[in-house]
Amino acid sequence: MLANLHPYVIAAIGGILIGLASWLLWWGLGRIAGVSSIASEVLTAPTHPDTWRWAFLAGLIVGGCLLGQGLEIPTLPTRPLYLLIPAGLLVGFGTVWGSGCTSGHGVCGLGRLSLRSLVAVGTFMAAGMITVTWMRGAA
């Protein structure tokens, strides 16, 4: 069934699911579904008695693994460490310093009409676009 839909329609359905998951967390726990905040809180306070963050991350990791395998999503061959490690460090450091990523500032922050999040989204989108343009020019 899904295969008959235009890829953009499937992408929008996926986006709606991401939005619904964020709604679920807000309605149920009164929490923002910000993946970088949730992951970094768990890192610094892993034994915090309120374990909802662990449960969310478990759902995200297990769900991604099962669905990725079930739908046979193509994976990349491993890229060089000199690319992956600086990229990971920048994403980790930047999302904690900037208080959010594509989910917290993008999906939730824009939905909350937060000016801070709008500025963050504009900044990381622009930085990402400049980086890709520079990389492709250099390659």
Q: How far is the CB of 41 from other proteins (least distance, A)?
A: 9
CA distance 65 to 60: 8
Q: How far is the CB of 86 from other proteins (least distance, A)?
A: 7
User: Of residues 31-50, which lie at the interface with other proteins (CB under 8 A)?
Assistant: 31-33, 35-36, 39-40, 43-44, 49-50
CA distance 102 to 12: 16
Q: How far is the CB of 4 from other proteins (least distance, A)?
A: 14
- Binds other proteins (CB under 8 A): choice among 4, 46, 63, 138: 63
User: Of residues 3-32, which lie at the interface with other proteins (CB under 8 A)?
Assistant: 7-32
- Binds other proteins (CB under 8 A): choice among 1, 3, 47, 128: 128
Q: Could you say whether residue 62 binds other proteins (CB under 8 A)? A: yes
How many amino acids of this chain bind other proteins (CB under 8 A)?
110
Nearest-5° Cα angle at 39, 21 to 51: 75
5, 11, 32, 102, 103 from 107: Cα distances, Å: 24, 14, 10, 7, 5
Q: How far is the CB of 1 from other proteins (least distance, A)?
A: 12
Q: How far is the CB of 80 from other proteins (least distance, A)?
A: 10
**Helix ranges restricted to H, the chain:** 7-29, 35-44, 52-70, 81-97, 110-111, 115-138
CA distance 132 to 70: 30
CA distance 1 to 78: 32
Residues 68-107 vs other proteins: string with x where CB under 8 A?
xx-x-xxxxxxx-x-xxxxxxxxxxxxxxxxx-xxx-xxx
